[in-house]
Amino acid sequence: MKMNIKMTIAYDGSRYYGWEHQPGNDLTIQGKLESVLSEMTGRPVEVIGAGRTDAGVHARGMTANAHLETEMTEDEMLAYLNRYLPEDICVLSLKQASDRFHSRYNALGKTYRYTCYVGSRKPVFDRKYVYVPEGVPDIRRMRRAARDLVGEQDFASFCGNPRMKKSTVRRVDSIEIERQGDYLTLTYHGSGFLQYMVRILTGTLLEVGLGKRPADSMPDLIAARSRPLAGFTAPAKGLCLMQVDYHTRDRSDS
């Protein structure tokens, strides 16, 4: 039976070269999923992701879909995938979706979370999932700067692709900065993000928190549309895709 399946996927991106399939490189998330689904169905299967996480970035709620032909039930497919996928990739849910559902084109927004460790001792067991800044940032200064980054604006200064030819205008709905114990998190929600954008926003806000740039400098930085003027690109290991948003009718398919 032909069907379009919708999957919610979690993965540890530490050893992978990102989401997107790369010819001759089997260490991608998309590539691993396509390989197992192709073995399952006996024919090539293309997996479409809601976005393209970079090398080393993690996910707790990536959404993907694939058109395939099989007589297996949803539960049987879910069990098969989790049996044969590597231990650092898990399909959390799998449901049949409408034929027109497209994980990327139907996505309304995404939530990313960046985690920093600000404790006094080494984060031995979390070291692959957190970034350790050189000091303890001032959260109030960071929140002040973050207010000017919310809204629909041209984020060219925060784009990591110097050859970007498409529009660099994006909408950031919210930036929440919280500290719980030894962990500092920056949670971003928006309609979509440019390449490295969340990591550059994070690096810039951390520089504000560490007193390296003024908290009220974001409007001028946005107006400049110049990547070299923004902060450093925070390491990939601290970033995690938490959730992808869809219309209610799309969520009912999950």
Residues annotated catalytic, as ranges: 54
Q: Which residues contact 20 (CB under 8 A, 6 or more apart)?
A: 28, 30, 49, 52
What value, to the nearest 5°, has the Cα angle with vertex 173 and ends 169 and 175? 110
In what helix (H) or strand (E) does residue 144 lie, and over which residues does it extend?
helix 139-147
Rounded to whole angstroms, the Cα distance separating 50 from 245 reads: 10
In what helix (H) or strand (E) does residue 59 lie, and over which residues does it extend?
strand 58-69
Helices (H), 154-234: 197-209, 218-224
Token pair recorded at residue 182: 């030894």
In what helix (H) or strand (E) does residue 251 lie, and over which residues does it extend?
helix 248-251
